[in-house]
Amino acid sequence: AQSVTQLDSQVPVFEEAPVELRCNYSSSVSVYLFWYVQYPNQGLQLLLKYLSGSTLVKGINGFEAEFNKSQTSFHLRKPSVHISDTAEYFCVARGSARQLTFGSGTQLTVLP
């Protein structure tokens, strides 16, 4: 079974600064990895996903993530954040079964 650990529960950052949200996973089998974002009062929206191939994955809104198998990490990055990026971000894993395994979430707060 997979487990997902998000190392930071809250990340405050100033507007236009870079940000990295950290995620580690554990799995004994092949894993698919996702980042979802939840804006206030909205559903969970897919930012990006890693299935196989290139380890650098680009998503919507300028986000990208790098899959690192040796470190079992899938950190999310953005070079310059906006106020509108304030949201909760979830790192999610999926194995051969369809059920998704969620991390505990990271609240990103972008400060003016």
Return residues touching another protein (CB under 8 A): 32, 34, 36, 41-46, 49, 51, 90, 94, 97-105
Nearer to another protein, 7 or 13 (CB): 7
- What minimum distance in Å lies between the beta carbon of 14 and another protein? 27
Please give the Cα distance from 68 to 71 (Å, whole number). 6
Smallest separation, CB 90 to another protein (Å): 7
- Distance linking the first and last C-alpha atoms of the chain: 41
Chain center to CA of 32: 12
CB of 5 to another protein, least distance (A): 10
Instruction: Extract the tokens encoding 81.
Output: 């954040």
Q: Which is nearer to another protein, 28 or 42 (CB)?
A: 42
Nearer to another protein, 13 or 100 (CB): 100
Neighbours of 38 (CB within 10 A): 15
Cβ neighbours around 80 below 10 Å, total: 11
Nearer to another protein, 67 or 90 (CB): 90
